[in-house]
Amino acid sequence: MKWVAFCVLLAISSAQATPADDLVRQGEAALAAKDVASALKAFDAALDSDPRNAKAAYDRGRINLVLHKNAQAVADFTSAVLSDPTLGVAYSARGEAKIILKDEKGGFADLDAAIVASPKEPEVYILRATYLMRRGNASGAKADLITAKSIATGDMAKMLDAMIARIQ
Protein backbone atom coordinates (compact mmCIF):
# COMPACT_ATOMS: atom_id res chain seq x y z
CA MET A 1 0.00 0.00 0.00
CA LYS A 2 2.85 2.38 0.81
CA TRP A 3 4.36 1.62 -2.61
CA VAL A 4 1.13 2.60 -4.38
CA ALA A 5 0.91 5.83 -2.39
CA PHE A 6 4.53 6.61 -3.25
CA CYS A 7 3.88 6.01 -6.95
CA VAL A 8 0.81 8.25 -6.91
CA LEU A 9 2.74 10.99 -5.10
CA LEU A 10 5.59 10.68 -7.58
CA ALA A 11 3.19 10.92 -10.54
CA ILE A 12 1.50 13.99 -9.08
CA SER A 13 4.77 15.75 -8.32
CA SER A 14 6.20 15.08 -11.79
CA ALA A 15 3.07 16.48 -13.42
CA GLN A 16 3.48 19.80 -11.59
CA ALA A 17 5.18 22.69 -13.26
CA THR A 18 8.88 23.13 -12.69
CA PRO A 19 10.41 26.45 -11.63
CA ALA A 20 11.63 26.85 -15.22
CA ASP A 21 8.08 26.37 -16.52
CA ASP A 22 6.84 29.07 -14.14
CA LEU A 23 9.57 31.40 -15.39
CA VAL A 24 8.61 30.67 -19.00
CA ARG A 25 5.01 31.63 -18.20
CA GLN A 26 6.28 34.85 -16.60
CA GLY A 27 8.32 35.57 -19.71
CA GLU A 28 5.36 34.94 -21.98
CA ALA A 29 3.21 37.26 -19.85
CA ALA A 30 5.91 39.93 -20.06
CA LEU A 31 6.02 39.51 -23.85
CA ALA A 32 2.25 39.86 -24.03
CA ALA A 33 2.64 43.11 -22.07
CA LYS A 34 5.39 44.18 -24.52
CA ASP A 35 7.99 44.18 -21.71
CA VAL A 36 10.88 42.67 -23.64
CA ALA A 37 13.48 43.29 -20.92
CA SER A 38 11.44 41.40 -18.31
CA ALA A 39 10.70 38.63 -20.79
CA LEU A 40 14.39 38.17 -21.55
CA LYS A 41 15.20 38.15 -17.85
CA ALA A 42 12.56 35.47 -17.23
CA PHE A 43 13.72 33.28 -20.14
CA ASP A 44 17.34 33.65 -19.03
CA ALA A 45 16.35 32.59 -15.51
CA ALA A 46 14.35 29.66 -16.88
CA LEU A 47 17.37 28.47 -18.84
CA ASP A 48 19.61 28.94 -15.81
CA SER A 49 17.18 26.75 -13.89
CA ASP A 50 16.81 24.18 -16.69
CA PRO A 51 19.21 24.53 -19.63
CA ARG A 52 17.16 21.94 -21.56
CA ASN A 53 13.91 23.90 -21.42
CA ALA A 54 13.07 24.02 -25.12
CA LYS A 55 10.25 26.55 -24.72
CA ALA A 56 12.49 29.04 -22.90
CA ALA A 57 15.23 28.66 -25.51
CA TYR A 58 12.73 29.06 -28.35
CA ASP A 59 11.09 32.13 -26.81
CA ARG A 60 14.44 33.78 -26.08
CA GLY A 61 15.49 32.99 -29.64
CA ARG A 62 12.38 34.71 -31.01
CA ILE A 63 13.27 37.83 -29.05
CA ASN A 64 16.87 37.71 -30.27
CA LEU A 65 15.63 37.35 -33.84
CA VAL A 66 13.45 40.45 -33.49
CA LEU A 67 16.37 42.32 -31.90
CA HIS A 68 18.52 41.33 -34.91
CA LYS A 69 20.82 39.24 -32.72
CA ASN A 70 20.66 36.53 -35.33
CA ALA A 71 23.69 34.48 -34.29
CA GLN A 72 22.38 34.31 -30.72
CA ALA A 73 18.94 33.43 -32.08
CA VAL A 74 20.46 30.52 -34.02
CA ALA A 75 22.14 29.32 -30.83
CA ASP A 76 18.88 29.54 -28.87
CA PHE A 77 16.89 27.75 -31.57
CA THR A 78 19.57 25.07 -31.77
CA SER A 79 19.27 24.55 -28.03
CA ALA A 80 15.49 24.29 -28.41
CA VAL A 81 15.62 21.65 -31.15
CA LEU A 82 18.27 19.65 -29.33
CA SER A 83 16.04 19.61 -26.26
CA ASP A 84 12.83 18.92 -28.20
CA PRO A 85 13.36 17.59 -31.74
CA THR A 86 9.58 17.72 -32.36
CA LEU A 87 9.47 21.52 -31.99
CA GLY A 88 9.02 22.37 -35.64
CA VAL A 89 8.62 26.10 -35.07
CA ALA A 90 12.13 26.19 -33.60
CA TYR A 91 13.54 24.61 -36.76
CA SER A 92 11.59 27.14 -38.83
CA ALA A 93 12.81 30.07 -36.79
CA ARG A 94 16.39 28.80 -36.92
CA GLY A 95 16.02 28.48 -40.69
CA GLU A 96 14.84 32.06 -40.90
CA ALA A 97 17.77 33.27 -38.78
CA LYS A 98 20.23 31.32 -40.92
CA ILE A 99 18.81 32.80 -44.11
CA ILE A 100 19.17 36.28 -42.63
CA LEU A 101 22.79 35.39 -41.84
CA LYS A 102 23.23 34.46 -45.54
CA ASP A 103 23.29 30.69 -44.91
CA GLU A 104 20.52 29.93 -47.38
CA LYS A 105 21.39 26.24 -47.71
CA GLY A 106 21.34 25.71 -43.94
CA GLY A 107 18.23 27.83 -43.63
CA PHE A 108 16.27 25.79 -46.16
CA ALA A 109 17.49 22.57 -44.56
CA ASP A 110 15.98 23.79 -41.30
CA LEU A 111 12.74 24.85 -42.99
CA ASP A 112 12.50 21.34 -44.43
CA ALA A 113 13.32 19.82 -41.01
CA ALA A 114 10.53 21.90 -39.47
CA ILE A 115 7.99 20.18 -41.70
CA VAL A 116 9.38 16.74 -40.89
CA ALA A 117 9.28 17.54 -37.16
CA SER A 118 5.81 19.14 -37.15
CA PRO A 119 3.86 18.15 -40.25
CA LYS A 120 0.55 19.25 -38.71
CA GLU A 121 1.62 22.84 -37.93
CA PRO A 122 0.52 25.23 -40.68
CA GLU A 123 3.03 27.86 -39.53
CA VAL A 124 6.02 25.80 -40.65
CA TYR A 125 4.62 25.53 -44.18
CA ILE A 126 3.79 29.25 -44.28
CA LEU A 127 7.31 30.30 -43.32
CA ARG A 128 8.88 27.98 -45.87
CA ALA A 129 6.45 29.31 -48.50
CA THR A 130 7.55 32.85 -47.69
CA TYR A 131 11.18 32.03 -48.36
CA LEU A 132 10.35 29.97 -51.43
CA MET A 133 8.56 33.01 -52.87
CA ARG A 134 11.57 35.21 -52.11
CA ARG A 135 13.69 32.65 -53.95
CA GLY A 136 11.33 32.83 -56.94
CA ASN A 137 9.79 29.38 -56.48
CA ALA A 138 6.10 30.30 -56.76
CA SER A 139 4.93 26.73 -57.42
CA GLY A 140 6.73 25.43 -54.32
CA ALA A 141 5.34 28.27 -52.23
CA LYS A 142 1.83 27.62 -53.50
CA ALA A 143 2.12 23.90 -52.69
CA ASP A 144 3.20 24.73 -49.13
CA LEU A 145 0.34 27.19 -48.69
CA ILE A 146 -2.17 24.62 -49.97
CA THR A 147 -0.81 22.09 -47.49
CA ALA A 148 -0.97 24.67 -44.70
CA LYS A 149 -4.58 25.46 -45.63
CA SER A 150 -5.50 21.78 -45.51
CA ILE A 151 -4.51 21.64 -41.82
CA ALA A 152 -5.39 25.20 -40.78
CA THR A 153 -8.63 26.26 -39.18
CA GLY A 154 -10.71 29.39 -38.91
CA ASP A 155 -9.22 32.74 -39.81
CA MET A 156 -5.89 31.20 -40.73
CA ALA A 157 -7.52 29.08 -43.43
CA LYS A 158 -9.24 32.20 -44.84
CA MET A 159 -5.95 34.10 -44.83
CA LEU A 160 -4.29 31.24 -46.67
CA ASP A 161 -7.02 31.28 -49.34
CA ALA A 162 -6.14 34.92 -50.02
CA MET A 163 -2.41 34.17 -50.14
CA ILE A 164 -2.93 31.26 -52.54
CA ALA A 165 -5.12 33.39 -54.79
CA ARG A 166 -2.36 36.00 -55.07
CA ILE A 167 0.07 33.39 -56.37
CA GLN A 168 -2.26 32.11 -59.09
pLDDT tens digits, one per residue of 123-132: 999 999 999 9
Q: Tell whether the model's pLDDT for residue 8 goes beyond 80.
A: no
Contact 63, 30 (CB under 8 A): no
Q: Please answer whether residues 30 and 39 qualify as being in contact, where contact means their C-beta atoms are separated by less than 8 angstroms.
A: yes
Query: How many other CB atoms are found less than 10 A from the CB of residue 122?
Result: 21
Taking the C-alpha atoms of residue 36 and residue 27, their distance in angstroms, rounded to an integer, is 9
* Residue 20 confidence (pLDDT) above 60: yes
Question: Is the pLDDT assigned to residue 161 strictly greater than 90?
Answer: yes
pLDDT at 7 over 80: no
- Of residues 157 and 1, which shows the higher confidence score? 157
Q: What is the mean pLDDT of residues 46-72?
A: 96
Give residue 17's pLDDT.
66
Mean pLDDT value of segment 95-118: 97
Mean pLDDT in the chain? 90
Q: Residues near 77 by Cβ (< 8 Å), separated by ≥ 6?
A: 57, 58, 61, 90, 91, 93, 94, 97
pLDDT for position 16: 57
Which has more confidence, 7 or 103?
103
Q: Where are the domains of the chain?
A: 119-168
For the chain, the farthest-separated pair of C-alpha atoms sits apart, in whole angstroms, at: 67
Q: Is the pLDDT of residue 6 over 80?
A: no
Q: What is the pLDDT of residue 19?
A: 87
Name the band, by pLDDT with cuts 50, 70 and 90, for residue 74.
Answer: very high
Residue 13, pLDDT > 50, answer no
Residues 79-90 have a mean pLDDT of 96
